[in-house]
Amino acid sequence: MNKNAFKVLIIDDEEAMRDACLQVLRKDGYQSGAASDGPSGLDRARDWKPDVALVDLKMPGMGGLEVLPKLKEIDPDIIPIVITGYATIDAAVEAMKQGAYDFLPKPFSPDQLRLTISRAIEKRAFVLENEKLRREKRLMEENFITMVSHQMRSPLAAVSQYLEALLAGSAGELGEQQRSAIQKSRDRLETSTAMINEWLSMARMNRGDMLARIGSVDLPTLIGELVTFYRQVAEKKQVALALVPQGALPPAAGDRDLLREVFSNLIVNAINYNREGGSVTASIRSEPPSLIVEIRDTGIGIDSQHLPFIFDEFYRVKRTDGVKAEGTGLGLAIVRKIVKLHEGSVSVASTPGQGSTFTVVLPASSG
């Protein structure tokens, strides 16, 4: 470890103590500085940014217990060490509560100082290395998300357009086998694209940068649009899809695009896990200060053993009707994260063979 890379600040009103500590630390190769009272010590810490601070507990004016939390405000990862000639257990406990890493009673020998500083520097080096790794991880995630967004989704979109063009007859009349093969390819491509989009949504939310546009959202309008959009999908599966007529309701507080993703996920799941001749019904009601949205289906239902886990990432319930389950297992995890970002809640009640009801509680807009 390169000691010269680390800075140690001594804040003590005794000149002899400051000089003695400076001599020992400089001899050992540390960058060292000193201040004679609390305010000047804090000023030095702001300008010099030390790694470790030795703080005298008893000083005129601003004492060590006042200095400690202010040091943490300057740098939450600084390593403070309390030094005092009035060493008591109570004083040590109080210093630790204020963020002190260690306690060094006066008088102490050069070797005691070296040992205490060495432990503090090791702690500081560990903290800095962890922070470096976190930054590198964030950078890798950002680069990977950018790569997936632009270098994977764009080619998939282009392939999808080519397939649609072929189905439209741009390359001539297709035989039944050719049309069937292209349609299957297109469907699998859509599934892959949806999986990528779900993963990207989860990655962005794990980074905490999703909730950007809070406003007033008219839920009947939003969910009505989704019901209209997915009605054709539902009809192909012989499932009736409807929004219960609503009276006057206040708007929800939230990001419209994110809430669209929530209810899109829930409606699509309700359709996909339904049965022929079944139904999906969306309803909204006001229970101040909240709005309650229910997505009710008459599908295959969920066994009680799975209910505690269905909002977990990558958790997928094995279907009991013989149909192969598709998707990433991220859809409901995304729903929960988005709803949580909105300071709301989501829950499910289900009976196997009878259906499920997903309930989303969102705060009403105060504006």
- Distance between CA atoms of 8 and 1, rounded to whole angstroms? 15
Question: Which residues have a Cβ under 8 Å from the Cβ of 343 and sit 6 or more positions away?
Answer: 363
- Distance between CA atoms of 260 and 92, rounded to whole angstroms? 54
Residue 266 in this model has a pLDDT that exceeds 90: yes
> Sign of dihedral through CA atoms 305, 292, 213, 156?
positive
The residue-averaged pLDDT of 2-18 equals 90
CATH class given for the domain over 3-108 = alpha beta
Question: 8: number of CA atoms within 13 Å, CB side?
Answer: 29
The residue-averaged pLDDT of 321-342 equals 73
Residue 304: per-residue pLDDT:
85
Per-residue pLDDT tens digits for 19-62: 999 999 999 999 999 999 999 999 999 999 999 999 998 888 89
Spatial contact of 310 and 332, defined as CB atoms under 8 Å apart: yes
215-363 is classed in which CATH architecture? Answer: 2-Layer Sandwich (3.30)
Is the pLDDT higher at 325 or at 194?
194
- Distance between CA atoms of 159 and 339, rounded to whole angstroms? 34
Rounded to two decimals, the pTM is 0.51
Q: Could you tell me which of 75, 193, 209 has the C-alpha nearest to residue 142?
A: 209
Give the whole-number percent of the chain exceeding pLDDT 70. 84
Concatenate the DSSP letters of all residues of 255-307 into one string. Answer: -HHHHHHHHHHHHHHHHHT--TT-EEEEEEEEETTEEEEEEEE-SS---TTTG
Torsion on CA atoms 211, 214, 218, 223, rounded to nearest 10: -10
User: What average pLDDT does the chain have?
Assistant: 84
Beta bridge partners of 7: 31
Give the whole-number percent of the chain exceeding pLDDT 90. 41
- Categorize the per-residue pLDDT at 303 as very low, low, confident or very high, splitting at 50, 70 and 90: confident
- Categorize the per-residue pLDDT at 165 as very low, low, confident or very high, splitting at 50, 70 and 90: confident
Residue 27: per-residue pLDDT:
92
Residue 159: per-residue pLDDT:
80
Residue 315: per-residue pLDDT:
64
Residue 360: per-residue pLDDT:
96
Per-residue pLDDT tens digits for 95-143: 778 888 888 888 889 999 999 999 999 999 888 888 888 887 777 766 6
